[in-house]
Structure 1
Protein backbone atom coordinates (compact mmCIF):
# COMPACT_ATOMS: atom_id res chain seq x y z
CA UNK A 1 0.00 0.00 0.00
CA UNK A 2 2.81 2.40 0.81
CA UNK A 3 4.34 1.63 -2.61
CA UNK A 4 1.03 2.60 -4.22
CA UNK A 5 0.99 5.84 -2.22
CA UNK A 6 4.55 6.54 -3.40
CA UNK A 7 3.57 5.96 -7.02
CA UNK A 8 0.42 8.11 -6.72
CA UNK A 9 2.35 10.90 -5.02
CA UNK A 10 5.08 10.90 -7.69
CA UNK A 11 2.52 10.93 -10.53
CA UNK A 12 0.50 13.69 -8.83
CA UNK A 13 3.60 15.80 -8.21
CA UNK A 14 4.97 15.38 -11.76
CA UNK A 15 1.68 15.86 -13.58
CA UNK A 16 0.72 18.96 -11.57
CA UNK A 17 4.17 20.49 -12.16
CA UNK A 18 3.97 19.87 -15.90
CA UNK A 19 0.33 20.28 -16.90
CA UNK A 20 -1.23 22.81 -14.50
CA UNK A 21 -1.14 26.57 -14.99
CA UNK A 22 0.36 28.81 -12.33
CA UNK A 23 -1.86 29.63 -9.37
CA UNK A 24 -2.89 28.45 -5.95
CA UNK A 25 -4.39 25.18 -7.26
CA UNK A 26 -1.02 24.22 -8.76
CA UNK A 27 0.78 24.99 -5.49
CA UNK A 28 -1.71 22.89 -3.51
CA UNK A 29 -1.49 19.86 -5.82
CA UNK A 30 2.31 20.06 -6.05
CA UNK A 31 2.49 20.21 -2.26
CA UNK A 32 0.10 17.26 -1.84
CA UNK A 33 2.11 15.19 -4.35
CA UNK A 34 5.41 16.10 -2.71
CA UNK A 35 4.12 15.31 0.80
CA UNK A 36 2.75 11.93 -0.37
CA UNK A 37 6.01 11.06 -2.12
CA UNK A 38 8.35 12.09 0.70
CA UNK A 39 6.08 10.65 3.39
CA UNK A 40 5.96 7.30 1.61
CA UNK A 41 9.75 7.25 1.24
CA UNK A 42 10.18 8.00 4.95
CA UNK A 43 7.70 5.23 5.89
CA UNK A 44 9.48 2.71 3.67
CA UNK A 45 12.88 3.58 5.18
CA UNK A 46 11.52 3.37 8.74
CA UNK A 47 9.90 0.02 7.99
CA UNK A 48 13.14 -1.47 6.66
CA UNK A 49 15.44 -0.02 9.33
CA UNK A 50 13.34 0.35 12.50
CA UNK A 51 10.61 -2.23 11.72
CA UNK A 52 7.87 0.39 11.98
CA UNK A 53 4.55 -1.14 12.97
CA UNK A 54 6.07 -4.44 14.13
CA UNK A 55 6.45 -6.06 17.51
CA UNK A 56 8.49 -9.00 18.74
CA UNK A 57 6.71 -12.21 19.70
CA UNK A 58 8.45 -15.06 21.52
CA UNK A 59 7.22 -18.64 21.52
CA UNK A 60 8.51 -21.08 24.13
CA UNK A 61 8.55 -24.84 23.77
CA UNK A 62 9.64 -27.16 26.59
CA UNK A 63 10.39 -30.79 25.78
CA UNK A 64 11.98 -33.58 27.84
CA UNK A 65 15.60 -34.37 27.12
CA UNK A 66 17.17 -37.83 26.85
CA UNK A 67 20.79 -38.85 26.45
CA UNK A 68 22.42 -37.96 23.14
CA UNK A 69 24.30 -41.24 22.99
CA UNK A 70 22.43 -44.56 23.12
CA UNK A 71 25.56 -46.24 24.54
CA UNK A 72 26.10 -43.78 27.39
CA UNK A 73 23.45 -42.51 29.73
CA UNK A 74 23.31 -38.93 30.94
CA UNK A 75 25.43 -37.27 28.25
CA UNK A 76 24.88 -34.24 26.02
CA UNK A 77 27.11 -34.22 22.94
CA UNK A 78 28.45 -31.26 20.99
CA UNK A 79 30.67 -30.60 17.98
CA UNK A 80 33.22 -27.80 18.07
CA UNK A 81 33.17 -25.38 15.14
CA UNK A 82 36.50 -23.74 14.34
CA UNK A 83 38.56 -22.24 17.14
CA UNK A 84 35.86 -20.10 18.73
CA UNK A 85 33.30 -21.06 21.37
CA UNK A 86 30.81 -21.98 18.66
CA UNK A 87 29.37 -25.39 19.29
CA UNK A 88 26.64 -27.43 17.67
CA UNK A 89 24.82 -29.40 20.38
CA UNK A 90 23.28 -32.73 19.43
CA UNK A 91 20.26 -33.73 21.49
CA UNK A 92 17.32 -36.10 21.56
CA UNK A 93 13.84 -35.53 22.87
CA UNK A 94 12.63 -39.10 22.36
CA UNK A 95 14.75 -42.13 23.42
CA UNK A 96 13.26 -44.24 20.60
CA UNK A 97 14.16 -41.70 17.90
CA UNK A 98 17.41 -42.56 16.10
CA UNK A 99 17.98 -39.10 14.64
CA UNK A 100 19.37 -36.30 16.75
CA UNK A 101 18.32 -32.68 16.65
CA UNK A 102 20.91 -29.93 16.35
CA UNK A 103 21.38 -26.39 17.51
CA UNK A 104 22.48 -23.71 15.07
CA UNK A 105 24.99 -21.16 16.40
CA UNK A 106 24.33 -18.88 13.41
CA UNK A 107 20.69 -18.26 14.37
CA UNK A 108 20.76 -18.41 18.14
CA UNK A 109 22.59 -19.16 21.33
CA UNK A 110 22.81 -22.09 23.70
CA UNK A 111 22.63 -22.03 27.50
CA UNK A 112 23.58 -25.13 29.52
CA UNK A 113 22.47 -25.22 33.17
CA UNK A 114 23.30 -28.00 35.60
CA UNK A 115 21.43 -28.94 38.77
CA UNK A 116 17.90 -28.92 37.37
CA UNK A 117 15.16 -31.13 38.71
CA UNK A 118 14.24 -32.60 35.31
CA UNK A 119 16.20 -32.99 32.09
CA UNK A 120 14.62 -30.80 29.48
CA UNK A 121 15.34 -28.35 26.72
CA UNK A 122 13.54 -25.01 26.53
CA UNK A 123 13.46 -23.61 23.00
CA UNK A 124 12.57 -19.93 22.61
CA UNK A 125 11.96 -18.55 19.12
CA UNK A 126 11.55 -14.84 18.52
CA UNK A 127 9.68 -13.43 15.51
CA UNK A 128 8.60 -10.01 14.25
CA UNK A 129 4.90 -9.65 13.48
CA UNK A 130 2.81 -6.64 12.53
CA UNK A 131 1.03 -4.93 15.41
CA UNK A 132 -2.33 -4.92 13.64
CA UNK A 133 -3.99 -5.46 10.29
CA UNK A 134 -3.59 -1.81 9.21
CA UNK A 135 0.21 -1.97 9.47
CA UNK A 136 0.25 -5.30 7.64
CA UNK A 137 -1.85 -3.81 4.85
CA UNK A 138 0.30 -0.67 4.67
CA UNK A 139 3.63 -2.52 4.50
CA UNK A 140 2.59 -5.79 2.87
CA UNK A 141 5.16 -5.36 0.08
CA UNK A 142 7.96 -4.58 2.56
CA UNK A 143 9.16 -6.66 5.48
CA UNK A 144 7.30 -10.00 5.63
CA UNK A 145 5.02 -10.84 8.51
CA UNK A 146 6.23 -13.49 10.98
CA UNK A 147 9.91 -12.78 10.30
CA UNK A 148 12.38 -14.96 12.25
CA UNK A 149 14.82 -13.08 14.52
CA UNK A 150 16.60 -15.54 16.80
CA UNK A 151 16.37 -18.75 18.74
CA UNK A 152 17.66 -19.81 22.17
CA UNK A 153 18.15 -23.35 23.43
CA UNK A 154 18.38 -23.76 27.19
CA UNK A 155 19.47 -27.21 28.31
CA UNK A 156 18.46 -27.90 31.93
CA UNK A 157 20.46 -30.92 33.06
CA UNK A 158 20.34 -32.87 36.29
CA UNK A 159 23.54 -33.16 38.28
CA UNK A 160 25.68 -36.01 36.99
CA UNK A 161 25.10 -35.26 33.33
CA UNK A 162 28.19 -34.80 31.17
CA UNK A 163 28.64 -32.38 28.28
CA UNK A 164 31.16 -34.04 25.95
CA UNK A 165 32.54 -33.48 22.45
CA UNK A 166 31.71 -36.01 19.76
Structure 2
Protein backbone atom coordinates (compact mmCIF):
# COMPACT_ATOMS: atom_id res chain seq x y z
CA UNK A 1 0.00 0.00 0.00
CA UNK A 2 2.93 2.33 0.67
CA UNK A 3 3.92 2.09 -3.00
CA UNK A 4 0.39 3.04 -4.02
CA UNK A 5 0.61 6.06 -1.72
CA UNK A 6 3.97 6.95 -3.22
CA UNK A 7 2.60 6.84 -6.78
CA UNK A 8 -0.61 8.72 -5.92
CA UNK A 9 1.20 11.44 -3.97
CA UNK A 10 3.67 11.90 -6.82
CA UNK A 11 0.87 12.15 -9.37
CA UNK A 12 -1.19 14.48 -7.18
CA UNK A 13 1.80 16.72 -6.52
CA UNK A 14 2.49 16.97 -10.24
CA UNK A 15 -1.13 17.77 -11.13
CA UNK A 16 -1.49 20.30 -8.31
CA UNK A 17 1.74 22.09 -9.14
CA UNK A 18 1.13 22.20 -12.90
CA UNK A 19 -2.61 22.69 -13.34
CA UNK A 20 -3.78 24.67 -10.31
CA UNK A 21 -3.56 28.42 -10.27
CA UNK A 22 -1.55 30.27 -7.67
CA UNK A 23 -3.60 30.21 -4.48
CA UNK A 24 -3.53 29.29 -0.82
CA UNK A 25 -5.24 26.00 -1.71
CA UNK A 26 -2.49 25.18 -4.20
CA UNK A 27 0.23 25.84 -1.62
CA UNK A 28 -1.58 23.76 0.98
CA UNK A 29 -2.15 20.80 -1.34
CA UNK A 30 1.40 21.02 -2.66
CA UNK A 31 2.75 20.88 0.88
CA UNK A 32 0.47 17.96 1.82
CA UNK A 33 1.29 15.90 -1.27
CA UNK A 34 4.98 16.80 -1.01
CA UNK A 35 5.14 15.62 2.60
CA UNK A 36 3.24 12.43 1.67
CA UNK A 37 5.69 11.82 -1.20
CA UNK A 38 8.80 12.30 0.93
CA UNK A 39 7.40 10.34 3.88
CA UNK A 40 6.32 7.37 1.75
CA UNK A 41 9.68 7.38 -0.05
CA UNK A 42 11.59 7.42 3.24
CA UNK A 43 9.45 4.60 4.65
CA UNK A 44 9.92 2.49 1.51
CA UNK A 45 13.70 2.90 1.76
CA UNK A 46 13.70 2.13 5.48
CA UNK A 47 11.57 -0.97 4.98
CA UNK A 48 13.87 -2.19 2.26
CA UNK A 49 17.18 -1.42 3.98
CA UNK A 50 16.36 -1.68 7.70
CA UNK A 51 13.17 -3.78 7.69
CA UNK A 52 11.08 -0.99 9.17
CA UNK A 53 7.87 -2.35 10.71
CA UNK A 54 9.36 -5.83 11.03
CA UNK A 55 10.99 -7.97 13.71
CA UNK A 56 13.11 -11.11 13.80
CA UNK A 57 11.32 -14.28 14.84
CA UNK A 58 13.24 -17.48 15.56
CA UNK A 59 11.70 -20.96 15.45
CA UNK A 60 13.37 -24.18 16.58
CA UNK A 61 12.84 -27.57 14.99
CA UNK A 62 14.25 -30.86 16.30
CA UNK A 63 14.48 -33.94 14.07
CA UNK A 64 15.94 -37.41 14.69
CA UNK A 65 19.40 -38.02 13.31
CA UNK A 66 20.49 -41.32 11.79
CA UNK A 67 23.73 -42.44 10.21
CA UNK A 68 24.26 -41.65 6.55
CA UNK A 69 26.66 -44.60 6.27
CA UNK A 70 26.48 -48.36 6.57
CA UNK A 71 25.15 -50.35 9.51
CA UNK A 72 28.73 -51.04 10.65
CA UNK A 73 29.53 -47.42 11.43
CA UNK A 74 27.61 -44.32 12.46
CA UNK A 75 28.61 -41.62 9.99
CA UNK A 76 27.90 -37.94 9.58
CA UNK A 77 29.06 -36.96 6.11
CA UNK A 78 29.82 -33.57 4.67
CA UNK A 79 30.73 -32.02 1.35
CA UNK A 80 33.04 -29.01 1.40
CA UNK A 81 31.82 -25.92 -0.45
CA UNK A 82 34.78 -24.06 -1.90
CA UNK A 83 38.46 -24.91 -1.65
CA UNK A 84 39.23 -23.74 1.90
CA UNK A 85 36.70 -26.02 3.66
CA UNK A 86 35.20 -22.98 5.40
CA UNK A 87 31.64 -24.01 4.51
CA UNK A 88 30.17 -27.48 4.51
CA UNK A 89 26.99 -29.19 3.42
CA UNK A 90 26.21 -31.99 5.86
CA UNK A 91 24.60 -35.22 4.69
CA UNK A 92 22.44 -37.31 7.01
CA UNK A 93 19.29 -39.39 7.42
CA UNK A 94 16.27 -38.82 9.61
CA UNK A 95 15.19 -42.48 9.62
CA UNK A 96 17.20 -45.68 9.18
CA UNK A 97 15.07 -46.81 6.22
CA UNK A 98 15.31 -43.46 4.43
CA UNK A 99 16.41 -44.20 0.86
CA UNK A 100 17.43 -40.71 -0.20
CA UNK A 101 19.71 -38.84 2.19
CA UNK A 102 18.93 -35.35 3.48
CA UNK A 103 21.38 -32.47 3.44
CA UNK A 104 21.77 -28.94 4.75
CA UNK A 105 21.47 -25.96 2.43
CA UNK A 106 24.49 -24.61 0.58
CA UNK A 107 23.87 -20.98 1.47
CA UNK A 108 25.71 -18.11 3.13
CA UNK A 109 22.67 -17.80 5.40
CA UNK A 110 23.14 -21.37 6.66
CA UNK A 111 25.63 -22.28 9.39
CA UNK A 112 26.36 -25.71 10.82
CA UNK A 113 27.82 -26.97 14.08
CA UNK A 114 28.63 -30.45 15.34
CA UNK A 115 28.49 -31.26 19.07
CA UNK A 116 29.12 -34.48 20.97
CA UNK A 117 26.40 -35.66 23.32
CA UNK A 118 25.63 -38.53 25.66
CA UNK A 119 21.94 -38.20 24.88
CA UNK A 120 19.95 -38.96 21.77
CA UNK A 121 21.41 -38.09 18.39
CA UNK A 122 19.42 -35.28 16.83
CA UNK A 123 19.47 -32.28 14.56
CA UNK A 124 18.31 -28.97 16.00
CA UNK A 125 17.59 -26.27 13.43
CA UNK A 126 17.03 -22.66 14.44
CA UNK A 127 15.48 -20.56 11.70
CA UNK A 128 15.27 -16.78 11.96
CA UNK A 129 13.00 -14.78 9.66
CA UNK A 130 11.78 -11.21 9.32
CA UNK A 131 8.06 -10.91 10.02
CA UNK A 132 5.77 -7.89 10.25
CA UNK A 133 5.04 -6.66 13.76
CA UNK A 134 1.36 -6.02 13.05
CA UNK A 135 -1.32 -6.37 10.43
CA UNK A 136 -1.13 -2.60 9.89
CA UNK A 137 2.57 -2.82 9.04
CA UNK A 138 1.87 -5.75 6.73
CA UNK A 139 -0.92 -3.77 5.07
CA UNK A 140 1.38 -0.86 4.29
CA UNK A 141 4.53 -2.75 3.30
CA UNK A 142 3.36 -6.27 2.43
CA UNK A 143 3.36 -5.52 -1.28
CA UNK A 144 7.16 -5.82 -1.15
CA UNK A 145 6.62 -9.58 -0.59
CA UNK A 146 9.31 -9.68 2.11
CA UNK A 147 7.21 -11.15 4.91
CA UNK A 148 8.97 -14.21 6.42
CA UNK A 149 12.18 -13.30 4.61
CA UNK A 150 14.95 -15.66 5.70
CA UNK A 151 17.65 -14.21 7.94
CA UNK A 152 19.54 -17.38 8.89
CA UNK A 153 19.46 -21.12 9.39
CA UNK A 154 21.64 -22.61 12.13
CA UNK A 155 21.94 -26.40 12.28
CA UNK A 156 23.39 -28.14 15.32
CA UNK A 157 24.14 -31.85 14.95
CA UNK A 158 24.24 -33.67 18.28
CA UNK A 159 26.15 -36.93 17.81
CA UNK A 160 27.53 -39.53 20.19
CA UNK A 161 31.21 -40.18 20.81
CA UNK A 162 31.30 -43.25 18.56
CA UNK A 163 30.06 -41.33 15.52
CA UNK A 164 32.58 -40.50 12.82
CA UNK A 165 32.53 -37.28 10.81
CA UNK A 166 33.95 -37.72 7.31
CA UNK A 167 33.89 -35.91 4.02
CA UNK A 168 32.27 -37.73 1.12
CA UNK A 169 35.74 -38.13 -0.42
CA UNK A 170 37.09 -39.70 2.77
CA UNK A 171 34.08 -42.01 3.00
CA UNK A 172 34.72 -43.28 -0.54
CA UNK A 173 38.40 -43.85 0.29
CA UNK A 174 37.42 -45.73 3.45
CA UNK A 175 35.05 -47.98 1.51
CA UNK A 176 37.74 -48.73 -1.07
CA UNK A 177 40.36 -49.39 1.62
CA UNK A 178 38.02 -51.75 3.49
CA UNK A 179 37.39 -53.78 0.33
CA UNK A 180 41.12 -53.93 -0.45
CA UNK A 181 42.02 -55.14 3.03
CA UNK A 182 39.03 -57.44 3.58
CA UNK A 183 40.88 -60.73 3.03
CA UNK A 184 43.94 -59.66 5.00
CA UNK A 185 41.85 -58.40 7.89
CA UNK A 186 39.84 -61.61 7.99
CA UNK A 187 42.97 -63.74 8.39
CA UNK A 188 44.48 -61.33 10.91
CA UNK A 189 41.24 -61.35 12.88
CA UNK A 190 41.32 -65.14 13.06
CA UNK A 191 44.87 -65.08 14.42
CA UNK A 192 44.04 -62.29 16.88
CA UNK A 193 40.97 -64.05 18.25
CA UNK A 194 42.87 -67.35 18.49
CA UNK A 195 45.67 -65.73 20.49
CA UNK A 196 43.16 -64.05 22.81
CA UNK A 197 41.40 -67.37 23.43
CA UNK A 198 44.68 -69.20 24.06
CA UNK A 199 45.80 -66.54 26.52
CA UNK A 200 42.47 -66.73 28.35
CA UNK A 201 42.57 -70.54 28.54
CA UNK A 202 46.09 -70.46 29.93
CA UNK A 203 44.83 -68.23 32.74
CA UNK A 204 41.67 -70.27 33.27
CA UNK A 205 41.60 -73.73 31.65
CA UNK A 206 38.12 -74.44 33.03
CA UNK A 207 36.35 -71.91 30.78
CA UNK A 208 33.06 -73.23 29.43
CA UNK A 209 32.03 -73.25 25.77
CA UNK A 210 29.65 -70.39 26.43
CA UNK A 211 32.40 -68.36 28.07
CA UNK A 212 34.78 -69.10 25.20
CA UNK A 213 32.13 -68.06 22.64
CA UNK A 214 31.59 -64.80 24.51
CA UNK A 215 35.34 -64.24 24.66
CA UNK A 216 35.70 -64.87 20.92
CA UNK A 217 32.91 -62.44 20.14
CA UNK A 218 34.45 -59.72 22.32
CA UNK A 219 37.91 -60.28 20.82
CA UNK A 220 36.51 -60.10 17.28
CA UNK A 221 34.73 -56.84 18.12
CA UNK A 222 37.95 -55.36 19.57
CA UNK A 223 39.93 -56.32 16.50
CA UNK A 224 37.31 -54.90 14.18
CA UNK A 225 37.27 -51.62 16.12
CA UNK A 226 41.07 -51.39 16.06
CA UNK A 227 41.20 -52.16 12.35
CA UNK A 228 38.55 -49.56 11.61
CA UNK A 229 40.40 -46.93 13.65
CA UNK A 230 43.57 -47.73 11.74
CA UNK A 231 41.81 -47.33 8.38
CA UNK A 232 40.15 -44.11 9.54
CA UNK A 233 43.53 -42.72 10.50
CA UNK A 234 44.90 -43.58 7.06
CA UNK A 235 41.95 -41.96 5.36
CA UNK A 236 42.06 -38.76 7.42
CA UNK A 237 45.81 -38.29 6.96
CA UNK A 238 45.84 -39.07 3.24
CA UNK A 239 45.48 -36.24 0.73
TM-score, length-normalised on structure 1?
Answer: 0.93
CA RMSD of aligned residues (A): 1.4
What secondary structure does 1:68 align onto?
A: coil
Q: Tell me which protein shows more strand as a share of its residues.
A: 1
Cα deviation, residue 140, structure 1: 2.1
What secondary structure does 1:98 align onto?
A: coil
Please say if residues 44 and 142 of structure 1, whose CA atoms lie closer than 8 Å, have aligned partners that are also in contact: no
Q: Tell me which protein shows more helix as a share of its residues.
A: 2
Please say if residues 66 and 119 of structure 1, whose CA atoms lie closer than 8 Å, have aligned partners that are also in contact: yes
Distance 1:21 1:81 in 2: 66
Larger radius of gyration: 2
Aligned to 1:130: 132
Cα deviation, residue 38, structure 1: 0.8
TM-score, length-normalised on structure 2?
Answer: 0.66
1:23-44 CA-to-partner distances (Å, cap 9, x unmatched) read 2211111100100111111011
Distance 2:103 2:52 in 1: 33
Q: Give unpaired runs (5+ residues) of structure 2.
A: 169-239
What secondary structure does 1:125 align onto?
A: strand
Aligned to 1:9: 9
Structure-to-structure mapping, 1:39-118, within 5 angstroms:
39-84=39-84, 85-106=86-107, 107-118=109-120
Which structure has the higher relative contact order (CA within 8 Å, separation 6+)? 1
Q: Give unpaired runs (5+ residues) of structure 1.
A: none
Q: How many equivalent residue pairs?
A: 166
Cα deviation, residue 143, structure 1: 4.0
Distance 2:135 2:118 in 1: 42
